[in-house]
C-alpha cells in the first residue's frame, strides 16, 4: 500500500527572516561565473556585522566582483525546510589578523592557495520556506 505524495508549496519570507535562517546554519555554496561556466563550490559561512564571511576552496584570483551564496536546509521526509540566496559585491579578506580569526572560526575543506576567505556585502537577499500545502 502506498500513499500519494503530499502537495508542497514555497512561501517567500522577508529579508530579515531569510538572514535569520542563514545565521542559524553554517553550510552553503558559493556560485559564480568563470570562463562562461557556472561554478559551484562548497563553503562555510558566518554572518557578522552586516556582512557574510565565507570560507571556500576557490583560488583568490577567481573570486568575482559580484558573487552569489546559497544555503538551505531541506527535510525531504517531512517536506519542509528553507532556502536562502544572497548576492552582492565580494572581496577577498587580505588582513592577516582578520583572516586568522576566520580560519579559526570556520573550518575549511582545503588548505593552501585554494582555501579563500571572502567577504560578501549583501545587496539582494531572497528566502523561501518549504511547507506542506493546505488540503
* Average pLDDT over the chain, rounded to an integer: 85
Q: Is 84 part of a structural domain of the chain?
A: yes
- What are 91-113's pLDDT values in tens digits? 999 999 998 898 888 877 666 55
- The helix or strand, by DSSP H or E, that contains position 55, with its residue range, turns out to be strand 51-56
Q: Is 3 part of a structural domain of the chain?
A: no
Q: How many domains does the chain have?
A: 1
> How many CB atoms lie under 10 A from the CB of residue 114?
15
Whether the model pTM is above 0.85: no
Q: Is 37 part of a structural domain of the chain?
A: yes
Q: Is 1 part of a structural domain of the chain?
A: no
Domain encompassing residue 49:
8-131
Instruction: Please give the backbone phi and psi of residue 79, each rounded to the nearest 5 degrees, phi first.
Output: 75, 30
Q: What's the distance, CA 61 to chain centroid?
A: 20
Q: Which three cell numbers stand for residue 67?
A: 558573487
Q: What's the distance, CA 31 to chain centroid?
A: 9
Q: Is 60 part of a structural domain of the chain?
A: yes
Amino acid at each position: 500500500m502506498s500513499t500519494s505524495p503530499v502537495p508542497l508549496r514555497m512561501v517567500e519570507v522577508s529579508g530579515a527572516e531569510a538572514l535569520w535562517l542563514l545565521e542559524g546554519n553554517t553550510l552553503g555554496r558559493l556560485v559564480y561565473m568563470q570562463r562562461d561556466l557556472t561554478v559551484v563550490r562548497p563553503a562555510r559561512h558566518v554572518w557578522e556585522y552586516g556582512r557574510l564571511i565565507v570560507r571556500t576552496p576557490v583560488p583568490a584570483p577567481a573570486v568575482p566582483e559580484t558573487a552569489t551564496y546559497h544555503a538551505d536546509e531541506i527535510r525531504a521526509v517531512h517536506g519542509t525546510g528553507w532556502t536562502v540566496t544572497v548576492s552582492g559585491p565580494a572581496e577577498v579578506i587580505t588582513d592577516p589578523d582578520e583572516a586568522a580569526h576566520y580560519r579559526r572560526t570556520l573550518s575549511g575543506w582545503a588548505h593552501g592557495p585554494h582555501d579563500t576567505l571572502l567577504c560578501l556585502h549583501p545587496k539582494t537577499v531572497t528566502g523561501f520556506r518549504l511547507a506542506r500545502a493546505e488540503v
